[in-house]
A and B are shown apart, each in its own frame.
Chain A
């Protein structure tokens, strides 16, 4: 029999988790927008907005210390971060485009180098995904092979029901454990009818053909046509659920300081600037080309996955109106 949960009980679930010392992160109002932030009570959960930033920051924060150093009389002391202190976390109300990006990121963070900062948070987090019943004209999850009801990446998945509440789908052991921990909050419902999911999330793109075109068109006038207008900021990469480049900086003094890992973006002019002064991506078109190549060719070459989940954030917030969905259609048409 299918499990369901009322909205009231969903908020109660958050309160119960908080009481049981879990860290609960979910969409929360920050001014007029929502962000995935730690919730202090169930009431704070925002259910009708796609957060401005993606959920990647729960695993891969905007900035984090990866070690500290201090010069003492005994010499230079280097202190590692205590990963065991990271909290057990439940990430709730995650949109399908954000949840689906997490297993995509698993690939790169557990590849040749195991990024324990990412992986430890990943191990300790349970993801409660939530289907979308509305979309806008920047959404294009269906175009990249996902959908407003996509369960990829979720441990437990909620789909809004007609008349309120959510149908619950258990997808992993973690999801099952969460459900089993609070059995009273979930009820069996015989006649649960799912609300219609969001439409208009884009016709399916032929990603194979797009990749084939990219394989052959490292040099193409298209890159310049697109990137001439690019202002070279990091808004697209920083809002993206799948972009994962970071920089490492030592900050503080020679006596006391921290080594910090923080988001970086291939759109920045200095991203590939060598110590010699040489910059292989000296022009914006080469930087923008890398953005597309990485998402739709290199990541596929390496991990067999696409580094884009169609959330549309980069489209909504590009200062100069660059529209990656339109670019993909253009590439698809060129690959005919």
Chain B
């Protein structure tokens, strides 16, 4: 590695005082909303026991609002807690949610799919310079070396469409788009080469279903892959069933996935699932000029039919 690259790896991407300002703004707004009774609970982040970690929290009292934070450790997409997979949270009443730019896209998708009503939700948007990669050294600041891969190509550092924007950010530097590069590398492989790549990754899948459970769009109450009478696909953690499951997952999210890459972040077996999501998104853009999560009112191309649709694929 050359010297300038090494320097880039230790230079903080942003002055972390922006997190303190965002934290302050989130706490103020949460306290106000809870005191005034505008919402029953605020879904946000609180610090974890271990240094440099944070976790989702659901705060129901103004006193507890002081525990809310924002930092580069706030990796989760909290939109998960608004879906019917999380009935306990939805049952509390009107909710407010802290959302980064990438999370906003998931919210837009959930609103479009009639899972969430925009006017029943208070969105506290937060300026985000990026979050830590899985396994990054949390004692180090957010740098070129510790930032999550998805954040390197982020175009939504400042969320749009929120009720409030917590924090502010200077212009963010462009980082090497490692994920795009990896996708291009895979696309350039032969089908046999790609098959070998995914076969190896999926062979390690243990079917813990973390990818499904954290996905805001995997809210089906009866997942196809859990069916056993009849079994739709092998549910045991073996190569054939694993491959089938990951294909099903990618296909069911095509045109819906908002690119938060939570599935990839949480995979305990380091399967680069967001590459599949990215590929699907790319196909959708090429075929239909469509990008998921940009506008809530949009209906996805795979969810509607038009006479003018390209039908050349029917053979």
Contacts and interface: CB of A to CB of B under 8 A. Distances in A.
Q: Which of B80, B88, B206, B268 has the most CB of A within 10 A?
A: B268
B270 A33 contact: yes
Contacts of B89: 228
Interface stretch (A85-93, A162-170, A318-326): A318-326
A233 B209 contact: yes
A306 B140 CA distance: 35
A83 interface: no
B269 interface: yes
B76 A320 contact: yes
A320 B56 CA distance: 6
A62 B206 contact: yes
A91 B85 CA distance: 41
Contacts of A194: none
B49 interface: yes
Interface string A281-313: 001110000000000000000000000000000
A262 interface: yes
Contacts of B135: 32
B315 interface: no
B237 A263 contact: yes
B214 A31 contact: no
Interface in B37-66: 48-51, 53-58
A249 B206 contact: no
A216 interface: no
Interface string A314-335: 0101011111011000000000
B268 A229 contact: no
A94 interface: no
B270 A31 contact: yes
Contacts of B312: none
A268 interface: yes
A319 B58 contact: no
Interface in A205-246: 224, 228-229, 231-235, 237-239
Interface string A102-115: 00000000000000
A270 interface: yes
B120 interface: no
B295 interface: no
B208 A265 contact: yes
Contacts of B236: 63, 249, 251, 260, 262
A97 interface: no
A174 interface: no
B237 A323 contact: no
Contacts of A321: 48, 53-56, 76
A52 interface: yes
B67 interface: no
Q: Which of B76, B206, B270 has the most CB of A within 10 A?
A: B206
A233 B88 contact: no
Nearest to B271: A31
A224 B86 CA distance: 13
Interface residues of B, number: 41
B241 to A, nearest CB: 8
A223 B187 CA distance: 47
Given A284-B88, A319-B210, A251 B266 contact: no
B231 interface: yes
A52 B135 CA distance: 12
Contacts of B53: 321
A158 B288 CA distance: 61
B55 A322 contact: yes
A31 B267 CA distance: 13
A262 B237 contact: yes
Given A229-B58, A320-B55, A239 B88 contact: no
A249 B235 CA distance: 8
B49 A283 contact: no
Interface in B77-106: 80-81, 85, 88-89
A271 to B, nearest CB: 11
Q: Which of B80, B207, B236, B270 has the most CB of A within 10 A?
A: B236
Contacts of A122: none
A187 interface: no
A73 interface: no
Nearest to A31: B270
Nearest to A283: B88
A306 B58 CA distance: 31
Contact of B210 (A33, A224, A234): A234
A262 B206 CA distance: 9
Given A249-B235, A317-B268, A238 B206 contact: yes
B48 A35 contact: no
Contact of A238 (B55, B208, B228): B208
A233 B234 contact: no
B213 interface: yes
Contacts of B88: 224, 228, 283-285
Nearest 3 CB-CB pairings of A with B: A321-B55, A319-B266, A233-B210
Given A233-B213, A234-B209, A237-B208, 4 more contacts: A63-B237, A231-B213, A251-B235, A319-B214
13 contacts: A35-B204, A62-B206, A63-B236, A137-B50, A138-B50, A233-B209, A233-B210, A233-B212, A285-B88, A317-B268, A319-B76, A319-B266, A323-B48
Interface of B: 48-51, 53-58, 76, 80-81, 85, 88-89, 135, 204, 206-210, 212-214, 226, 228, 231, 234-238, 241, 262, 265-266, 268-270
Interface of A: 30-33, 35, 52-53, 62-63, 137-138, 224, 228-229, 231-235, 237-239, 249, 251, 260, 262-263, 265, 268, 270, 283-285, 315, 317, 319-323, 325-326
